[in-house]
Structure 1
Amino acid sequence: MGSKIITFGEVIMRLSPPGHRTMKQSHEMEFFFGGTELNVASSLAVMGCEVKHISCVSDDFVGEAAIASMKSFGIDTSLIKKTEHPLGLYFLEVGSSIRSSRIAYNRLNGSFANISPDQVDWKKGLEGCGYFHWTGISPGISEGAYETLKQGLQTAQEMGIQITTDPAYRSNLWKYGKKGNEVLKELVSYSTIFIGGVNEINEILGTVFSLDKEGFIEACKELKQQIPSIHKIFDKIRIGVTASSQQTQGRALVDGDYFETELLEVTPVVDRIGTGDAFAAGLIYGLLNYDDEMALKFANAACAVKHTILGDINQCSAEDILEVVNGNSGGRIKR
């Protein structure tokens, strides 16, 4: 099994008024390329990992710009397909203090929503791969995305690859007739490492476990009983004080052992988008390089640091994140 990491998911453009303006206040927009799984891929590439992203983009100058952006991070784009459909996009108004951020999506007729299984050669794509990462966003976008992902997961399982999942459930997706919780339970059954907590487990299993430590442990045990392929569960806790102040903490259950990290506080928050993806990327990097407890600490630090980075992607190196893990969070100038 190799050390390469494969991610599969939408490449989406984010459009935001500059600063903390609302759309009504602004006549100009900043744009960033991202997408849940691509954010993970980009962060891992910044940290020096070998990463390949599988997706579809528009066959125009916008799609070319998206590919150029991925290549600038060092991501292998050889299995990115170009199609006649436009790139998906979303609009974000960045909140501040007591005013929440707001998002509007335009993705359900985009290039990734029209993907089909015959567009991906999974055996070729997964060759030399050690980890395959997916999230619950992708199968919610379209039936084609669901079928393509399922084929990839089956192939990865046959090849003995570690499969990490962040089974995020988004109720504004799932418009094509399938029930999100049923599909996610099916797809999670191919996975080996679960990145999520009580809310995600309750959604998938239809349970009502509490959010406290005891509830988390019981939820994890139930998940592992119903889906035996899952052998490690890592959870990110985020406490929103205001839109400008956030606290993060990690907890996990591995082989029956519970452990957690210290609480990290970020004030002021520069950008909350992509912080969960930074956690997932930090965890995968940590699992490749450290033991499970250190991997969780690294993931939590990566999540916290991302709150200080503009855009969807955590641009911090592994060394930057390790400084936070080691307690150097005072923000002193490096000379």
Structure 2
Amino acid sequence: MNRHKIVTFGELLLRFSKPGHLRLTQGDMFTSKYGGSEANVAVSLATQGDEVTYITRLPDTPVGRAGAMNLAELGVDTSEILYGGQRIGTYYFEPPAGMRAAKVFYDRANSAYSDLKPGMINWREILKDCAFFHVSGITAAISQQAAEATFEALDIADEMGVTICFDINYRKNLWRYDGANPRETLSHMLAHCDMMFGDAIEFEWLSQHPQPPFTAIDSNFKMQMKEYREWFDELHEQFPRLKNWMMGMRNIVSSKHHTLTGLLWTEGHLLKAPIVDIPDVVDPVGVGDAFMGGWLHALKLYPDDKQMQLNYSLAAAALKNTIPGDFNLSTEEEILDAVTF
């Protein structure tokens, strides 16, 4: 079977912000954009030229339909999206400015996605020609039913031999349903997965192992590679199925000045990417999703070159910082132009 399609699964959100750098308590006008981690990955892949299908559940309302139309206009296959429920999940984003940190407030209770249940999605049909299936910790964080639907998808993808990709995406403010146990749930998800992405803070939370400090203010910072190697080896012992781990690291020098790098642990080898100095950050949302979208595309571009997979993923993530909104709209050509060696 010639598998080529990538499938991502998660909740599409409507993002609200005030214009410019107004706080959420200021002004009388909101701007809106669609986003959400797994949708961000889907758009990134489509922009790079991949065949990608996005799975979610949206309300059958003009707002829900507009979200699907937005993704379709960007090249994502939305034909398998389910419609039902009452409302789309939303979040409110207050951008950083000077010493003021960014703020995010979620409003996702009783969304169409939160009511998703096992048996609603025909996973065997959707995954029959799928090469990669991507989910994140958020897919199981919204409700008990959504968590059960996520594990149904993981079980079927596993049974069908699909490569399963995972982003930790731990959001402590989302795990609010009765009996929610994020560390246990995400650890069970990881037991199904073949490749994983997360930032250093999420790796530390998952493993309960303190991270080596990343305090780069420019590209000359020296990484503590011995300590990182020990950390990754320890994680692999905990989750032996995972053969490929990618970690993104960001240091926020100021609201507009970030440094960014990444590590890739692959079958016992630890690779590091250059440190990218980003002096004029436009929008920091979705950088981890850009990492993931870059990595999945780079697997096709450079199947035998792990270092280029890492460098390409980092370049995709660095470019996302220059683009307003959740989506990374960088093409393969633009990302290749940004790759540093």
Please give the secondary structure, in 2, of the residue aligned with 1:59.
Answer: coil
* Structure 1 stretches lacking a partner, 5+ long: 328-335
Partner of 2:312 in structure 1? 298
Within 2, Cα distance between the matches of 1:201 and 1:84?
34
The 5 A counterparts of 1:131-210 are 131-176=132-177, 177-196=179-198, 199-208=201-210, 210=212
Contact 1:85 1:114 in 2 (8 A): no
Aligned to 1:122: 123
The number of residue pairs the alignment matches comes to 327
2:278 to 262, 266, 291: 266
Query: 1:201·1:223 contact (CA, 8 Å) conserved in 2?
Result: no
The one-letter code matched in structure 2 to 1:311 is: G
Quick one: distance in 1 between partners of 2:310 and 2:301? Answer: 12
Shift of 1:159: 1.4
**Which residue of structure 1 lines up, in the alignment, with residue 218 of structure 2?**
none
Give 1:201 deviation, angstroms: 3.8
Residue 270 of structure 1 deviates from its aligned partner by 0.6
Shift of 1:37: 0.6
Larger mean CA deviation between 22-31 and 131-140 belongs to 22-31
Q: Following the alignment from structure 1 to structure 2, what is the Cα–Cα distance between the partners of residues 219 and 137?
A: 24
Contact 1:182 1:204 in 2 (8 A): no
What is the rounded CA distance, in whole Å, between the counterparts of 1:25 and 1:175 in structure 2?
Answer: 29
Tell me the CA shift for residue 178 of structure 1: 2.2
Matched with 2:297 is 285
In structure 2, what is the Cα distance between the partners aligned to 1:51 and 1:285?
Answer: 11
How far has the Cα of 1:146 moved from its partner? Answer: 0.8
Matched, 1:321 2:322: no
Q: Secondary structure at the match of 2:115?
A: coil
CA distance in 1 between counterparts of 2:102 and 2:199 reads 23
Contact 1:198 1:219 in 2 (8 A): no
1:102 aligns with 2:103: yes
- Partner residue, 2:219: none
For residues 280 and 340 of structure 2, what CA distance do their matches in structure 1 show? 21
Partner SS state of residue 216, structure 1: helix
- Matched-pair contact (CA < 8 Å) for 1:166–1:194: yes
Q: For 1:11 and 1:149, how far apart are their aligned partners in 2?
A: 15
Number of the residue aligned with 1:50: 51
What CA distance in whole angstroms lies between the structure 1 residues aligned with 2:148 and 2:13?
20
Gaps of 5+ in 2: 214-223
Question: Residue 326 of structure 2 aligns with which residue?
Answer: 312
Structure 1 residue 210 displacement after superposition = 4.3
Q: Is the 8 A contact 1:47 1:318 kept in 2?
A: yes
Residue from 206, 213, 238 that aligns with 2:225? 213
8 Å contact 1:10–1:112 — kept in the other structure? yes
1:301–1:321 contact (8 Å) kept in structure 2: yes
Partner of 1:225: 237
The equivalent of 1:91 in structure 2 is 92
Q: Quote how far apart the aligned CAs of 1:28 are.
A: 1.3
The secondary structure found in structure 2 opposite 1:322 is helix
Q: Does 1:245 align with 2:247?
A: no
TM-score, structure 1 length as denominator? 0.94
- Residue 331 of structure 1: aligned partner: none
Q: 1:283 to 1:201 in 2, by over 3 A?
A: same
Q: State the shift of 1:263 in Å.
A: 0.8
Contact 1:209 1:218 in 2 (8 A): no
User: Once the two structures are superposed, what CA deviation does each residue of 1:203-250 show, in whole Å capped at 9, x if it has no partner?
Assistant: 334444645433322222122222221001111111111111111101
Alpha-carbon distance in structure 1 between the residues aligned to 2:200 and 2:278: 24
